[in-house]
Structure 1
């Protein structure tokens, strides 16, 4: 007797629409991809598996010279540089909206796929506007 768990597809840590938008450097397509799909986020501390409310602790980059804070987001976990913490989370558009709404005044810029293949950046204000469009 085949169990349903065996038939379940493994969770994919990527957003193909976001990767396509980054490839074309199209801000409208990027906004659409963020509103309708997940985003891969580097985690300093992964969430607890038995607590669905625990998303983990998001890793951000703080420039040691200026103190500026950057949020790094990825279209695919494979695009995350190995130098970053190893954990990743797959976050929803609602999560990204809430995170930027809470921490947007501390974040200077948001980088997408910072190490490539098609890096792009935006301000938290622009991303919030895109998410709420």
Structure 2
């Protein structure tokens, strides 16, 4: 039986962003997945290599921003072409590890329903 390709979108997250409701976003992050841009693709034969998440470094402050998308189609063309699917536990671990370096997390930064949150706010909602 041929292996199916994952769908690089989350309808649950898209609906939460449309509502501009952080509680709904938290629910989506805890119970579904999200799309993140990658510096390079992961190796499909290696479960420990899921690529390297790309972050944006603000040129004036040097601070990092993490960009999260509800759908790979919402990722601007200027970003690296690769994407990966991640879940809430991964995001919680990532923010616990790198959150002090990350100034903000942007959701669907180019629309259609952009939101942003601080790493601390996301850590709180993901820990529930």
- Same-fold call, TM cutoff 0.5: yes
Residue 104 of structure 1, aligned match among 99, 102, 110: 99
1:107-130 residue CA offsets vs partner (Å, 9 max, x unmatched)? 000000000000000000100111
C-alpha RMSD of the superposition: 1.0
* Partner residue in 2 for 1:121: 116
TM-score (norm 2): 0.96
Partner deviation per Cα, 1:46-94 (whole Å, 9 max, x = no partner):
1111111111111000011111110000000000000000000001221
Unpaired stretches in structure 2, ≥5 consecutive residues:
none
TM (norm. structure 1) is 0.93
Which of structure 1's runs of 4+ aligned residues deviate more than 6 A?
none
Shift of 1:97: 1.1
Cα distance in 1, alignment partners of residues 89 and 103 from structure 2? 20
Partner of 1:20: 15
Where do residues 39-58 of structure 1 align in structure 2 (5 Å cutoff)?
A: 39-58=34-53
Structure with greater Cα Rg: 1
Show the counterpart of 2:61: 66
Aligned residues between the structures: 128
Aligned to 1:10: 5
